[in-house]
Amino acid sequence: MSTQIIFQGFVVLHLIGFLLFAGTSVADFVGFRQFWKQYDLDKSKAATVMQAISVFPVLMRVGIGLIILSGIGIMYMTHGVFGEQLWFRVKFGLVIVIILNTFLFGQRQKKQLKKSFETSAGTAQKIRSNISLFHTVQLLFVFIIILLSVYKFN
Ligand code: HEM
């Protein structure tokens, strides 16, 4: 198999991972908007929405895993040449922020929300604004990463 085909295979996997990650991030954002709408009206319906959207973080993890593995593959095939370019360094920093945002912040807030929802422990106002911040950071940074990856500013 030629190196060109292997390289293109990594790019295809990178874009599939990107599709999964960015797609489910948007779906998670839209799903949460529905959740909060129902939360204010009818908590039993909100529970159903919560159940439906709880699968998204799993797909996000699969997506980010695929992105990282294929990204490493691309770097290997290109002998790390992108690693010296400014756009890539900024992108890499943003990827780290996105990973921390997903695992240290977003996931924790969602767990707390589930807990407070199940035990009916008061309103979840603070968690609501934290999850909104999580989605803003996630979507904004993914957008900047797309710009950096395509335009490769230097
Ligand atoms: C949330 C994370 C990421 C997203 C959304 C993302 C998205 C993208 C997109 C849309 C492209 C453009 C593909 C093209 O022009 O054909 C790209 C290219 C690239 N990505 Fe990523 N990426 C991410 C993380 C990573 C990571 C972690 C690495 C390295 C370990 C990486 C390495 C690369 C490289 C080297 C290219 C240039 C490929 C080329 O133009 O030949 N990416 N990425």
Query: Per residue in 94-151, pLDDT tens?
Result: 999 999 999 999 999 999 998 887 776 665 789 999 999 999 999 999 999 999 999 9
Distance 148 CA to ligand 1 centre (A): 9
**Per the structure, how many domains does the chain have?**
1
Average pLDDT over residues 5-17: 98
Burial class from Cβ neighbours inside 10 Å (0-12, 13-18, 19+) for residue 3 reads: exposed
Distance 63 CA to ligand 1 centre (A): 13
pLDDT tens digits along 40-58: 899 889 999 999 999 999 9
Give the integer Cα–Cα distance in Å for 140 and 36: 21
Q: What is the biggest distance separating any 2 CA atoms in the chain, rounded to whole angstroms?
A: 60
For ligand 1, pick from 12, 60, 81, 91 the residue to mutate: most ligand atoms within 8 Å of CB.
Answer: 91
The pair of structure tokens assigned to 47 is 């529970």
The pair of structure tokens assigned to 108 is 């924790």
Q: Buried (b) or exposed (e) across 83-113, using 16+ Cβ within 10 A? A: eeeebbeebeebbeebeebbeebbeebbebb
Residue list, ligand 1 pocket, CB within 6 Å: 11, 14, 18, 21, 67-68, 71-72, 74-75, 82, 95, 98, 142, 145-146, 149-150
pLDDT at 43: 86
Domain of residue 117, residue span: 3-151
